[in-house]
Amino acid sequence: MKAIPTEIEGVFIIEPRVFGDDRGFFFESFNHQKFEQAVGQQVEFVQDNHSRSVKNVVRGLHYQAEHAQGKLVRCVSGEVVDVAVDIRKDSPTFGKVVTVNLSAENKRQLWIPAGLAHGFSVLSDAAEFLYKTTDYYHPESERCILWNDPDLKIDWQIQGDAQLSEKDKQGCSFSSI
């Protein structure tokens, strides 16, 4: 496994070692010991999530005010643009945005530590998205930043109109968090 640092402190692109031949491929999608060594911190995952979305769906930018969740995310079918926004007020990278294309083809993952907002958009006809979290879903703590916040200037790479949930349409501005 290779961990590639990004512009945001603590956020890493994870590239697995893939062994492939004409029969298919094999890779270790998660190894606790290797993962902790790669990201340089102890991590305990408590929940796995799986979503399926269609083209031009944008989910996010979500975070939990209390019970902040670290997330290890990957796309196992299709392709997404994954987005992390540093909202840790004491962070030297506060306000920075990282976007990474994740797909079934490239098998990349993104490690997003607790304290960041997260979202993704679907580029393919459909995509299945898996992620591990370091804390449980806590609906009372859930918050959302507007996906198209003018201060963040995120390129979601979608073609056409974004498809959003009612909850995501009601997100707050980045400047108000």
pLDDT at position 61: 97
Name the class of domain 44-176. mainly beta
Per domain, the residue ranges of the chain are: 44-176
Beta strands in the chain (DSSP E): 2-5, 12-15, 18-21, 24-27, 47-54, 58-64, 71-77, 79-86, 97-103, 109-112, 116-122, 126-133, 142-144
pLDDT at position 70: 98
Residues of the chain with pLDDT under 70: none
Handedness of CA 102, 137, 91, 155 (dihedral sign): positive
pLDDT at position 100: 98
Hey, which residues are catalytic here? 62, 131
pLDDT at position 105: 96
pLDDT at position 43: 96
pLDDT at position 158: 95
Map residue 72 onto helix, strand or coil. strand
pLDDT at position 108: 98
